[in-house]
């Protein structure tokens, strides 16, 4: 479950760096952000770099927005319900 993810991509600097970012607002109102800077030369060398970067960021943000897991084995097996 994703909670209000905001993605953006901007160029910055004189030599073409690309800034990829995502912000995630959690249900309790907390804001978590993640940023990556990629140079187009690196994307030329590895064409899937940008896609892999976005996939990695998506996976991390997905884990952060997932409901918490039980913290003990008793909870995991229904012993604390």
C-alpha to C-alpha distance for 55 and 53, rounded to whole angstroms: 5
Q: Does 73 have pLDDT greater than 70?
A: no
| More confident of the two residues 17 and 27 | 17
Residue found under tokens 């899937």? 48
For the chain, how far is it from start to end, CA to CA, in angstroms? 23
Q: Each residue of 22-48: pLDDT tens digit?
A: 998 887 888 889 999 999 889 899 989
Average pLDDT, the chain: 81
- CB-side exposure of 60: number of CA atoms within 13 Å? 15
Give the global pTM. Answer: 0.69
Q: Write down the domain spans for the chain.
A: 5-76
């Amino acid at each position: 479950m994703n909670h209000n993810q905001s993605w953006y991509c901007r160029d910055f600097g004189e030599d073409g760096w690309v800034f990829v970012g995502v912000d995630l607002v959690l249900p309790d109102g907390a804001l978590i952000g993640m940023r990556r800077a990629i140079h187009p030369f690196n994307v030329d060398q590895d064409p899937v770099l940008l896609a892999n970067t976005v996939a990695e960021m998506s996976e991390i943000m997905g884990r952060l927005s997932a409901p918490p897991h039980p913290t003990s084995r008793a909870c995991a097996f229904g012993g604390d319900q």
